[in-house]
Structure 1
Amino acid sequence: MSSVSRTKMMKSSKLLRNTWPFRKSANLRHVISSVLLLGISTSPVHADNLLEVVDAALQNNLALNSAETGLRAAEYDVDINRAKFLPSLNASASTNWNDGKTHQHQAPSLDNGYNNHGVNITLSQTLFNLADIYSHSSAKVDLDIEKLRTEQTRQSIIRDTATTYFEYLKARAQIRATQAEFESSQTRLRLITRNVELGNVAGTERYEVLAQKERTANTLRSLKKDQRIVLTKLETLVLQPVSPDFDLQSAVDFEPIGNQQQRQLNQVMYESDYQLLIAQRQVTQSRQALKETGADFVPSLKGSIGYTYDNTNDATANVFPDKGVTEEAKYALTLDVPILNGGRDYYRYEQNKVNIEKAEIDLEDRKQQSQQSFDEFIYNINDFSASLDSLAEIIKANYASYIGIQKAHKLGTRTITDLLSAESKLFSSIRDYENARYDYIITTLQLNDRIGNLTPVTIGKIAEQMSPMNDSKADSPIPFHLLAQ
């Protein structure tokens, strides 16, 4: 490895919390000529930068609104379980009209109509119930899980919105290069057709140029279709029209992530990855469920105080309370000892023991999946970083080759097939370069999502590296940062 390569690999990419691994580099030597310049007219529209689009998605996205609403509902579960520890007061009142008739053989029938009414007030309090204690703890764990899921949804909205934004820019860059190739093929077709008519070249050369033009036109049509699909997806996430007209600034370089920083980011992942945190809480949740079912075997104690008032107005009554008012106070202390319920509690307890084992297995599986995703993101980011320098050199080499073959074709020493092949290689290398640039950014966003570090602050750091696109930048299919100052 050369000293320059070692120096580059030793540089820190600064991809820690709320940072962005970009650095500006000096502009490369001018490598294009007027032959490849492409004029694209744009209509004036409102330009939305990345941070504005992400903020709009966080405000409007229905999935996030649903998650936040579910969180508010889950907060009441804790209050519902807390109510088991508070006293309950119940009151009831009743009134009855009694109308009776007694038919006698030896005497006249007797009619008896009277009203009795009364009230009852009972104050009760659970003094000890282990199941209620564990149930309350389980409700708090459930709330923690719901909070994590809400934050995970919020981060997913940021990830999906930002990556779709860059997918749109990626498609736009592809269209820009392919449009330039298409217009170049159109110009060549007109020239070759004119030369065939004048008898300067063989007619077969026109067919090769025509075939390449149609292939390019078909590719361009597919790219525009894909761009419309991406824009529709972005507007669905944001729920409003979007015009992504901010792009990465010129002369931005992308660095690899070194070994030391990989270890730091890996540690952050195990502390902040929402999927891991949720899996850990689910293990705790299973253990709480086991404690809750185990409490079904423990006695519970409940106390109550009641007061009853009854007023009976039965004129024919001849037993207590006869005709009059009855007041009664009742004090109760109830000890409930579970003995046997057909084995249901026992099997529930055993089932929850198995559920703990399953939750622990799921947690370990989640750790392995997160680690695998983390490693893949690191490998891809470093591969994109390493490939960008090579792709830049390939563009310059292909351009120089294209210019040379173009001159040789005019002199008659190279065929039209050679020229078309050189042009295809040039524009393919441009598209490969643009793909690597935006894929680096998209993968970095996914990495930040994996380690639980994707926030509006992180997006703001990215937005600082972007600026509005204008006509002068859109004029050339060559990547902007390869242009000389």
Structure 2
Amino acid sequence: MKNYSLIVTLLLFSSILTAQKKEWTLEECVNYALENNIQVKLTELDVELSDIEKRDAIGNLIPNINAQAANAWNTGLTQNATTGILVNQTVRNFSAGVTAGLTLFDGLRNFKSLQRAKMSRIANEYSLDKMQDDIALFVADAYLQVLFNKQNLEVLKAQNEVTKEQLGRTQDLVEAGVLPEGDLLEIKATDADEQQRMILAENQIQISLISLAQTLGFRDYQNFDIVDRDYDIFGNEILENSVYDVIDTAKEERSEIKIAESNMELAEMDVELAKGAYLPTLSAFFNYNTRETGQNRIIGTEIDPNEPTRTIGFVEGTNQQVLTGNSIPVLGSPLPFFEQLYINDGITYGLRIDVPILNGFATRNRVRRNEVAVKRAEYQLEQAELDLESNVYQAYTDAKGAFEAYEAALVASEAQEKAFEYATERYDVGLTNAFDFSQAKIRFENTQREALRAKYDYIFKLKVVELYFGIPVRDLKF
């Protein structure tokens, strides 16, 4: 009985632990998103498709070998395969063969297709890198938003504790006749307003948690939560570099430029592939075939007993008939299956050349279209470089501005904290009314919230600059 109770207790304890929410760190969220986010998975499929394209290109360089076999029955008026006579019959025929073909020269299109497939895979890998960087930033932004909402709720709760203390103190002072009842009503209104804002803050936490979970690709919203911890500011020394250093590094490291460069190389390779159609195509072929039939075979001849002779002509002058023996074939059973296959086999082999002469300007137009695509890719590369310069400059400036805003918010928060302490002291001795006290408290609360917002805004913008500076997404420090 004691053992049974112990087992039940362990099971209940296990179920309680299972039902508890798993608290995720930022690093865990980023790693999970990189493995499970739908956009990342779609980009990974592009890489997989490029592998298939590469195998297709390799397949074009090796021979094509096909085998075929047929076993058919013909009923009705058909030709006897051994006598050549048309007769009403049901006959079975079997045929089989192996065909092989190899392209010896096609303007190097197959070889260049393999090169293009390799380049396409590299381009898709760059796209995957960019998608992973983007998802990591989305996750970090969403995570920091949840953290901001949680800490904002903590600020509201702390302020509400102060309000409740003041509410009790004011209640005592009103009952003692020191303060008017209007001050008590003012404090009660402040408490009700703070209670409402805490409810809204809790709702914002849940909404931001669901948004983060969706970014991760995590469906169990009820059991999803993040670790409640404060994040320090790491890596701000990167802003000691000039913006031009960051831009130069970004051009070497960022996937945007590599993607544009790869697209231009692919466009140039498409031109080479199209030009290959101007050249002849030389191919080799080989065919082995054999057959078997169920018809009777001719094993000899004999004189026709019904018509032993037949006229083959007349003697000139005398008009005398010239007769000969009228022989007819003697049929026997067909030869064994494999023996017929051995006797009736044959081989065909040779070379084939196809020379393009006129195809309605299709090849020429294809070449020109691909040349236009090369110019387009060149312009897109140039635009990608300009966009990257603009984005880096904007991110660098935003990070600098966010740091200054954060420092200003800290100064404002410290000043408002002192002002609130002074207002509290004056209110406690009756030198100020409840309205002025509430206003001082609201200003202090707003500066605390703004300091939190400025901090996480700066952390996020700093990480954007670090990514542009070539720091891998998994190496970002928070």
TM-score by length of 2: 0.74
Q: Secondary structure at the match of 1:126?
A: strand
Question: Which amino acid is the alignment partner of residue 145 of structure 1?
Answer: A
- CA shift, 1:310, in A, is 4.0
- The CA distance in 1 between the partners of 2:68 and 2:277, in whole Å, is 31
Question: Which amino acid is the alignment partner of residue 435 of structure 1?
Answer: R
Q: Which residue in 2 is equivalent to 1:356?
A: 374
- The CA distance in 2 between the partners of 1:110 and 1:62, in whole Å, is 69
Question: Which amino acid is the alignment partner of residue 244 of structure 1?
Answer: I
- The CA distance in 2 between the partners of 1:419 and 1:113, in whole Å, is 112
Question: Which amino acid is the alignment partner of residue 399 of structure 1?
Answer: E
Q: Secondary structure at the match of 1:94?
A: strand
Change in Cα spacing, 1:196 to 1:397, as seen in structure 2 (3 Å) is same
Asked if 2 retains the 8 angstrom alpha-carbon contact of 1:114 and 1:315, the reply is: no
Whether 1:57 aligns to 2:36 is no
Question: Which amino acid is the alignment partner of residue 276 of structure 1?
Answer: I
Matched residues, number: 406
Whether 1:168 aligns to 2:146 is yes
Question: Which amino acid is the alignment partner of residue 207 of structure 2?
Answer: I
Whether 1:245 aligns to 2:227 is yes
Q: Which residue in 2 is equivalent to 1:74?
A: 50
- CA shift, 1:399, in A, is 1.8
Q: Which residue in 2 is equivalent to 1:440?
A: 458
Q: Which residue in 1 is equivalent to 2:213?
A: 235
Asked if 2 retains the 8 angstrom alpha-carbon contact of 1:266 and 1:374, the reply is: yes
Asked if 1 retains the 8 angstrom alpha-carbon contact of 2:179 and 2:430, the reply is: no
Q: Which residue in 2 is equivalent to 1:144?
A: 122
Change in Cα spacing, 1:253 to 1:158, as seen in structure 2 (3 Å) is closer
- The CA distance in 2 between the partners of 1:79 and 1:132, in whole Å, is 12
Question: Which amino acid is the alignment partner of residue 397 of structure 1?
Answer: A
- CA shift, 1:439, in A, is 1.3
1:169-192 superposed Cα distances (whole Å, 9 cap, x missing partner)? 111111111222233334434444
Question: Which amino acid is the alignment partner of residue 308 of structure 1?
Answer: N
Asked if 2 retains the 8 angstrom alpha-carbon contact of 1:50 and 1:246, the reply is: no
Matches within 5 A, 1:326-475: 326-451=344-469, 453-458=471-476, 461-462=477-478
Asked if 2 retains the 8 angstrom alpha-carbon contact of 1:159 and 1:454, the reply is: no
Question: Which amino acid is the alignment partner of residue 167 of structure 1?
Answer: Q
Whether 1:180 aligns to 2:161 is no
Change in Cα spacing, 1:174 to 1:308, as seen in structure 2 (3 Å) is same
- The CA distance in 2 between the partners of 1:88 and 1:443, in whole Å, is 56
- CA shift, 1:141, in A, is 2.1
Asked if 1 retains the 8 angstrom alpha-carbon contact of 2:281 and 2:355, the reply is: yes
Question: Which amino acid is the alignment partner of residue 95 of structure 2?
Answer: G
- CA shift, 1:152, in A, is 2.8
Q: Secondary structure at the match of 2:225?
A: coil
- CA shift, 1:168, in A, is 1.6
- CA shift, 1:315, in A, is 5.8
Q: Which residue in 2 is equivalent to 1:38?
A: none
Whether 1:271 aligns to 2:289 is no
Asked if 2 retains the 8 angstrom alpha-carbon contact of 1:256 and 1:385, the reply is: no
1:326-373 superposed Cα distances (whole Å, 9 cap, x missing partner)? 543322211111222333333333322222222222222222222222
- CA shift, 1:375, in A, is 1.8
1:55-88 superposed Cα distances (whole Å, 9 cap, x missing partner)? 3334444443444344334312101111111112
Question: Which amino acid is the alignment partner of residue 27 of structure 2?
Answer: L
- CA shift, 1:397, in A, is 1.8
Match of 1:280 among 261, 280, 288: 261
Asked if 2 retains the 8 angstrom alpha-carbon contact of 1:234 and 1:242, the reply is: no
Q: Secondary structure at the match of 1:85?
A: coil
Asked if 1 retains the 8 angstrom alpha-carbon contact of 2:271 and 2:371, the reply is: yes
- CA shift, 1:431, in A, is 1.2
Question: Which amino acid is the alignment partner of residue 97 of structure 2?
Answer: N
Change in Cα spacing, 1:405 to 1:101, as seen in structure 2 (3 Å) is closer
Question: Which amino acid is the alignment partner of residue 114 of structure 2?
Answer: H
- The CA distance in 2 between the partners of 1:169 and 1:428, in whole Å, is 17
Q: Which residue in 1 is equivalent to 2:94?
A: 117
- The CA distance in 1 between the partners of 2:190 and 2:277, in whole Å, is 78
- The CA distance in 2 between the partners of 1:424 and 1:95, in whole Å, is 93
Q: Secondary structure at the match of 1:268?
A: helix
Matches within 5 A, 1:249-264: 255=236, 257-258=238-239, 260=241, 262-264=243-245
- The CA distance in 2 between the partners of 1:377 and 1:111, in whole Å, is 90
More RCO (CA 8 Å, sep 6+): 1
**271-280 vs 257-266, which deviates more?**
257-266
Q: Which residue in 2 is equivalent to 1:84?
A: 60
Instruction: Identify unmatched segments of 5+ residues in structure 2.
Output: 1-19, 79-85, 299-327, 329-333, 335-339
1:285-335 superposed Cα distances (whole Å, 9 cap, x missing partner)? 22222222222222211111223334565769x9xxxx9955433222111
- The CA distance in 1 between the partners of 2:235 and 2:118, in whole Å, is 44
Asked if 2 retains the 8 angstrom alpha-carbon contact of 1:273 and 1:452, the reply is: yes
Q: Which residue in 2 is equivalent to 1:7?
A: none
1:112-136 superposed Cα distances (whole Å, 9 cap, x missing partner)? 5554433322222101113323322
Whether 1:93 aligns to 2:69 is yes
Question: Which amino acid is the alignment partner of residue 243 of structure 1?
Answer: D
Change in Cα spacing, 1:330 to 1:54, as seen in structure 2 (3 Å) is same
Asked if 1 retains the 8 angstrom alpha-carbon contact of 2:159 and 2:445, the reply is: yes
Change in Cα spacing, 1:75 to 1:398, as seen in structure 2 (3 Å) is same
Asked if 1 retains the 8 angstrom alpha-carbon contact of 2:413 and 2:448, the reply is: yes
Q: Which residue in 1 is equivalent to 2:105?
A: 128
1:366-417 superposed Cα distances (whole Å, 9 cap, x missing partner)? 2222222222221222222223333322222222222223333445544433
Asked if 2 retains the 8 angstrom alpha-carbon contact of 1:141 and 1:285, the reply is: yes
| Misfit runs of 4+, over 6 Å | none
Q: Secondary structure at the match of 1:200?
A: coil
- The CA distance in 1 between the partners of 2:297 and 2:217, in whole Å, is 78
Q: Secondary structure at the match of 2:67?
A: strand
Question: Which amino acid is the alignment partner of residue 359 of structure 1?
Answer: A
**217-226 vs 281-290, which deviates more?**
217-226
Asked if 1 retains the 8 angstrom alpha-carbon contact of 2:235 and 2:462, the reply is: no
